[in-house]
A and B are shown apart, each in its own frame.
Chain A
Amino acid sequence: MSNLDVEKIRQDFPILDRVIDGKRLVYLDNAATSHKPVQVIKSISNYYEQYNSNVHRGIHTMSEEATTAYEGVRETVANFIGAKETCEVIFTRNTTEAINLVAYSWGRQNVLPGDEIVLSPMEHHSNLVPWQQLAQEREAKLVFLELTEDGQINMESAKQLIGSKTRLVAVTQMSNVLGTITPVTELARLAHQHNAIILVDGAQGVPHLKTSVAELECDFYVFSLHKMLGPTGVGILWGKKEILNAMPPFMFGGDMISSVHRDKSRWNELPWKFEAGTPNIADVIASGVAIEYLQNLGMDNVRAHEVEITAYALKRLGEIKGITIYGPKDANLRGGVVAFNVEGIHPHDLGQILSDSGVAIRAGHHCCQPLMKDLKVMGTARASFYIYNTLEEVDLLMAALKEADKVMGHVACR
């Protein structure tokens, strides 16, 4: 049993009271974005009502308050992900921007013709397309790790695929389709043995798993706050100081400079070197509140709750005739993401009919088209859980799935 008081947690999320077509909302699309507790929402209005002002420049009281709050979140983030120094934490718009920053700044300085960039086959488009572009531009090669039958990284073949030509390994910490948790530390050691570096896409990882960049032994770690109770529009790039220091800026303009002349400029120090222009102050401050909310719950408790609900979902979904569930079968080896297909019902139709029962799931390719090709499907349905979901909601999902089968003419049971 988990130590989360789910009923109490639910009271912090006003949106969970929403009624959809006369039915109670069952929100199972947390891998796309999570809901926000009232503490986070209030933090945003409080900023605009009480101390809205630009950071890093003003001498007046409100500007100092805003700067202190904004920079304070850097410390909260560093603490949450086990980073040694706050200057290693860079605010971006989202995970995608953080990866692009590395691909442009580090990639175009370090990747040479013939070099190899190693990815897993389950990367989100955001951790694939930037590397495709880089590889094309630099005449480098993309190499894909292999998966075992149940969707885990094949470490035996990884030892062959990561080698002397490898410059970078870029992998997800947890797949947004298969739920697979990647053995990041083992991959990091392999990469480092060959003088390569490793970037970890933590968008699905850090909201659900206790995460330490030191323990992962990675060089870059990227994630988005909106998947972990925070607002949209805030992402994090964490990088090792010595690597970040050697990288050129990604964007140019205000705030990222230390001095500007008519013909040349000097760059600001870390982390501001990578934060050109007025940042997303209100949402960064609210992101700090989101992280504190998770810290108060305890990430071990969050994980235990999700393992319990995922195990139950795997068991109940397994009862449906004609269902295929993707990824590891053991809830302890995976996150709270369950992708599935019901034979004869296209995931789009499934998503639509479930929505009429008030059940919100995702249907489609989940921004993982190459993985869909590997699985030989056009798309899947996907239910994903978070701290406020209950076992009862899994039962409501089951009832909605039965209704869908009825609407589609009992195809699954044929």
Chain B
Amino acid sequence: MSLADDLYRETILDHYHNPRNNGSIDNASATVEGVNPLCGDELTLYLNVSPAGLIEDVKLMAHGCSINTASGSMMSEAILGQSVERAEEIIESFKNMMLTKSDEVAFEDELEELEALRGVKKYPVRIKCALLPWNTLLEGIQTAKSTKKE
């Protein structure tokens, strides 16, 4: 059964049924909404960035499919406590993994879990579901940066 293997792996279902960092942050340094126009899925991302540029807290309120929810949950774990610069690197690696044909391993060690989402590539219409949280995060980081400058 290809689906059970590729798309609905145990890791993904685990994050879907128990999404990490689920919730909201009052007075977050950035609050951004993401929408997938294809299916209407919505996502609100809350970000707290310290003056030194560390991601101190991240929360997600997602109303989406398993891929969208799991991707957001895994993303939150990957970037929590990282510097903004490191988070941007991770976002780039993830988007590369999803958007290029290459099968090179993008993540090792503590980020290895993200590899579980590689199977989504076989289902082109679902790539948008996986990318929604990441694109929303990118926007959140831009917002946090510009607020800091003011």
Contact = CB atoms under 8 A, between A and B. Distances in A.
Interface of A: 21, 346-349, 352-353, 356, 363-365, 369, 372, 378-379, 407-409, 411
14 contacts: A21-B2, A347-B65, A348-B65, A348-B68, A349-B8, A353-B3, A356-B2, A369-B40, A372-B40, A378-B41, A379-B39, A379-B41, A407-B8, A408-B13
A346 B3 CA distance: 16
Contacts of B44: none
A356 B7 CA distance: 11
Interface residues of B, number: 22
B64 interface: yes
B4 interface: yes
Given A378-B42, A378-B63, A411-B17, 10 more contacts: A346-B64, A347-B65, A348-B126, A349-B65, A352-B7, A364-B38, A369-B40, A372-B40, A407-B3, A408-B8
B123 interface: yes
A363 B67 CA distance: 15
Interface string B55-70: 0000000011111100
A94 B27 CA distance: 48
Contact of A378 (B3, B7, B8, B64): B64
Interface of B: 1-4, 7-8, 13, 17, 38-42, 63-68, 123, 126, 129
Contacts of A349: 8, 65-67
Contacts of A352: 3, 7, 123, 126
A348 B62 CA distance: 14
Contacts of A353: 3, 8
Nearest to A368: B40
Contacts of B123: 352
Contacts of B40: 364-365, 369, 372, 378-379
Contact of A365 (B17, B39, B64): B39
B73 to A, nearest CB: 14
B39 A364 contact: yes
A347 B41 CA distance: 11
Nearest to A366: B40
A378 B132 CA distance: 15
Contacts, number: 54
A364 B126 CA distance: 12
Given A346-B64, A346-B65, A409 B42 contact: no
B92 to A, nearest CB: 26
A21 B68 CA distance: 25
Top 10 A-B pairs, shortest CB-CB distance: A346-B65, A348-B65, A365-B40, A364-B39, A356-B3, A349-B66, A349-B65, A407-B8, A378-B63, A378-B40
B14 to A, nearest CB: 9
B2 A348 contact: no
A11 B83 CA distance: 62
B39 A363 contact: yes
A378 B126 CA distance: 16
A365 B42 CA distance: 12
Contacts of B3: 352-353, 356, 407
Contacts of B64: 346, 348, 378
Contacts of A409: 13, 17
A411 B8 CA distance: 13
A379 B39 CA distance: 7
B123 to A, nearest CB: 7
Nearest to B41: A378
A408 B1 CA distance: 13
B12 to A, nearest CB: 10
A321 B7 CA distance: 24
Contacts of B38: 364
Contacts of B63: 378
Contacts of B13: 408-409
A118 to B, nearest CB: 25
A56 to B, nearest CB: 40
Nearest to B2: A356
Contacts of A378: 39-42, 63-64
Nearest to B42: A378
A372 B142 CA distance: 31
A336 to B, nearest CB: 23
Contacts of A348: 39, 41, 64-65, 67-68, 126, 129
Contact of B4 (A365, A379, A407, A411): A407
Contacts of B7: 352
A372 B39 CA distance: 11
A378 B63 CA distance: 7
A409 B16 CA distance: 11
A348 B64 CA distance: 9
A266 B10 CA distance: 69
Contacts of B17: 409, 411
A352 B40 CA distance: 16
Nearest to A364: B39
